[in-house]
Structure 1
Amino acid sequence: MTEIFETQPDRADLPLVVMPASFASMVAPLKAHLPALADVARVRLYEEFTEDPDLIAERVADADVMINGGPHISDDLLRRISGGVRGGEGGHVRCIVFSGTGVASYIDLALARELGVRVCNAEHYGDAAVAEHTFALMFELLRHTGELDRRMKSGGWSGPYADGLQLAGRRLAIIGLGGIGSTVARIATAFGMRVAAWNSGHTPVSRFVELGVEPVDDMNELIAGADVVSVHMPLIDGATRGLITADNLAHLKPGTMFVNTARAEVIEPGALTARLAKGDIPAALDVYEREPLPADDPLRAIPGIVLTPHVAWRTDGAFAELTRQMVEDVRAFLTGGEVNVVVSEHDAVRGASRD
C-alpha cells in the first residue's frame, strides 16, 4: 500500500499541494522543509514513484499546486490536471513545481503557457552533484575501476585495463559554462587539466577570466582541440535543442573522451549514436534521447562506453537543496511572489534554465 503523508489535513480552508509521485530519496528532505508551508497550504505526499498518467490525474484531482517529482507530463495529462484551457472541465492545478532544472524535457512549456499554468523549477541545486558525477564517469573511462573490481573479485589480478590514463595535462573542452560547467572547470583545474569552453556569446567574459578558462568561439575548433569534451548545456527550446550537430561531432579526433551529463536533446537527434558507433570515441553518458533507455537501444551494444541511468543529480546535498527550493516555489506562488518561474500563469515564457 502506498504511504501517504499529509500536513494540516483538517485545514480545508487552505490550498492543496499534491506530490503524486516521488523518489524515495526525496521524501525525507522534502518533509524537513514542509513547516515553511504551515498556515499557507495543506500538503499531500505520495511516497512512491509512478509514471501512470491516470493515477497521477486521480491523485491531483483536487490540487491547486502539483509538485512533479519526476514523471513526464504528457500534453493530454497536462490538459486533464489543469482543466483544459483556463477553467475548462477537469482538474484545477494552477502551478506545477518541477523537481529539477531541465523542465523542458518533462513538460510542454508552450502548452502550459496556453493553459495558464505557472511552471517553476529549481536552479543550481545539483551543481556539485552533477560535476562530481562527471568526473566519476571520466575516471571510469580513464582507469576502468569497475572492470578491475570485477576481475579482482573473480580471482584475477593484472591484465587489460591495468594501465590507465591521467587527467593532468589533458585539454578539457566544456560546452556550457553555467553553474555546473563552472564547477567542472574548477575541479578540472585542480586536477591539472587545461580548460577551454565554448564562447556562446551569452556567458560573461568575466566568468572565463575568473575561472582561468580559455574562450573558444568556434565549436568545431573547440572539439577538435580537446582530449575530453564535457557537455553542460541546459535544454532551452529554440536556443539549445539540437545545438551540437553531427558536423560538430565529426571533429572529435579518435580517442577523445566524450561525456554528457546535461541533456541528450542538446545534441542533434541520432548524431551521437552514429558517431560513437564508429568505435573510436570512449564516451560516458548519463542522459538519453529516450528515458528510460530502451533495452534494445544501440548505445547498449557499443563497446568502450559507460552508461549510467540519469543519476548525476541524485546526492544527499542535491536533494536537500532541491526540496528547499521546491517548497520556496510553492510558497511564493501561494503568497503572491515569484521564485524560479519558468512559465508564468500570465503568459510570459522564460528560460528553462539560467546561469
Structure 2
Amino acid sequence: MTEIYETQPERTDLPLVVMPAVLGAMIDPIKAQFPVLKDVARVRMFEEFTSDETVLIERLAEADALLVGGYHISDGMLRAIAGHVKCIVFCGTGVASYINLDLARELKVRVCNAEHYGDHAVAEHTFALLFELIRRTGTLDKDVKDGNWAWAGGDGLQLAGRRMGIIGLGGIGATVASIARAFGMEVSAWNSHVPAEHFARSGATPVNDLNELIETSDVVSVHLPLNDATRGIITADNLDHLRPGTLFVNTARSEVIASGALLARLQRGDIPAALDVFDHEPLKASDPVCHIPGIVLTPHVGWRTDGAFKELTRQMIACLKAYFAGEDYNVVVSER
C-alpha cells in the first residue's frame, strides 16, 4: 500500500498541494521544507513513484496545486487537471521538456521551476562522464575484479593542456569552465547572448562562431537551457565540424541538438561521447545510441545530488508560498 504523508490535514480551510508521485531521494529533503507552508497550504504526498497518468489524475482530484518531478505531463493530463490545479511547480529547470507551456498559458495555469540549484551537481557529473571517457575507470575496475590485471586498454588521455569548448555559459557552463581551468585546460565558450561578466568570472575565452568553437576544441560540452530559442540550435552542420577524436559531452537537454543529428554524427564511429540526456527517456536497450562503441551513457542523473535536492526542494516550496501570497517566484508561465 502506498504511504501518504500529509501536513495539517485538519486545516480543510487551506488550499491543498498534492505531490502524486515522488522520487525516493526527494522524500526527506522536501519533507524538511513543508513547515514553510504552515498556515499557508496543506500538503499531501504519495511516497512512491509512478508515471501512470490515470493514477496521477486520480490522486490530484482535490488539488489546488501540483508538485511534479520525474514524469511528463501530457496535454490530455494537463487539460484534465486544469479545472482545479492552477499552479504547477516542476522539480527542475528544463520544464519545457515535460509540460506544454503554450497549453498551460492557454489554460491559465501557472508553471514554476527551479534555477541554478544543480549548477555544481551537473558540472561535477560532466567531469564524471568525461573521466570515464578518458580513463575508463568503470571498465578497468571490472577487469581487476575479474582477475584481469592488464595494462592494455589502461592508457588514458590527459585533460591538462587540452581545450574545452563550452556551448552555453550559464550557471552550469561557468562552473564547468572553472573546474576545467583548475585541471589545466584552456577554456573557450560560444559567445551567443552571453553577458560579458560570465566570461570574466569563468575565465573562458569568447568565440563568436559556433563552428569555429567546435572545430578548435578537444572537448565540447553542452550546457544550453531548453527554450524556444535553443531548441535544435546545434545543427548537423555544426556537428560536422567535430574533429575525429573530439570528446563530446551533453548534460543539458537532447532537444537543443537538431533531431537525429547527434546520432548520425556518432554513428560514424570517430567521436567518443558521453550523454546524460536523450530524445526519448527512459532510454531503451534497443535504442541505436546504446550500440555505438566508445559511448558512455547515464540515465539523466546529473542533477541528482544531496546538495541539489536540498536547494531544489527549497525553491519548490518557495514557489508555492509565493503563489498563495499572490507573489511571483521562478514563474515560467503566468496564470494572469
* Superposed pair shares fold, TM > 0.5: yes
Superposed, 1:246-325 pairs within 5 Å as 246-325=236-315
Of stretches 205-214 and 55-64 in structure 1, the one that deviates more from structure 2 is 205-214
Counterpart position of 2:195: 204
Aligned pair count? 336
Deviation at 1:69, TM superposition (A): 2.1
Is 2:128 the counterpart of 1:139? no
Deviation at 1:203, TM superposition (A): 1.1
Does structure 1 retain, via aligned residues, the 8 Å contact 2:236–2:262?
Answer: yes
SS of structure 2 residue aligned to 1:45? strand
Is 2:166 the counterpart of 1:169? no
Distance in 1 of aligned mates of 2:247 and 2:201 = 26
Deviation at 1:209, TM superposition (A): 2.1
Deviation at 1:299, TM superposition (A): 0.3
Distance in 2 of aligned mates of 1:225 and 1:44 = 52
Distance in 1 of aligned mates of 2:6 and 2:152 = 54
Letter in 1 for 2:64: D
Distance in 2 of aligned mates of 1:127 and 1:210 = 15
Q: What per-residue deviation string (whole Å, max 9, x for no partner) do you get for residues 32-62 of structure 1?
A: 0100000000000011111101111011111
SS of structure 2 residue aligned to 1:339? coil
Q: Mind listing any 5+ residue stretches in structure 1 that lack a counterpart? A: 84-91, 347-355
Paired residue for 2:206, among 215, 220, 236?
Answer: 215
SS of structure 1 residue aligned to 2:332? strand
Distance in 1 of aligned mates of 2:179 and 2:280 = 30
Is 2:5 the counterpart of 1:5? yes
Q: What is the aligned-residue identity percentage?
A: 68
Counterpart position of 1:72: 72
Does structure 1 retain, via aligned residues, the 8 Å contact 2:170–2:198?
Answer: no
Is 2:15 the counterpart of 1:15? yes
Superposed, 1:111-126 pairs within 5 Å as 111-126=103-118
Counterpart position of 1:61: 61
Distance in 2 of aligned mates of 1:219 and 1:342 = 28
Is 2:40 the counterpart of 1:40? yes
Distance in 2 of aligned mates of 1:69 and 1:290 = 16
Is 2:185 the counterpart of 1:193? yes
Is 2:130 the counterpart of 1:159? no
Q: What per-residue deviation string (whole Å, max 9, x for no partner) do you get for residues 55-111 of structure 1?
A: 11011111000000221000000000112xxxxxxxx00000000000000000000
Q: What per-residue deviation string (whole Å, max 9, x for no partner) do you get for residues 238-290 of structure 1?
A: x0000000000000000000000000000000000000001000000000000
Letter in 2 for 1:321: E
TM-score (norm 2): 0.99
C-alpha RMSD over aligned residues: 0.6
Deviation at 1:161, TM superposition (A): 2.1
Counterpart position of 2:224: 233
SS of structure 1 residue aligned to 2:50? coil
Runs of 4+ in structure 1 off by over 2 angstroms are none
TM-score (norm 1): 0.94
Does structure 1 retain, via aligned residues, the 8 Å contact 2:175–2:202?
Answer: no
Distance in 1 of aligned mates of 2:13 and 2:152 = 67
Does structure 2 retain, via aligned residues, the 8 Å contact 1:143–1:161?
Answer: no
Counterpart position of 1:349: none
Letter in 1 for 2:308: A
Distance in 2 of aligned mates of 1:69 and 1:331 = 18
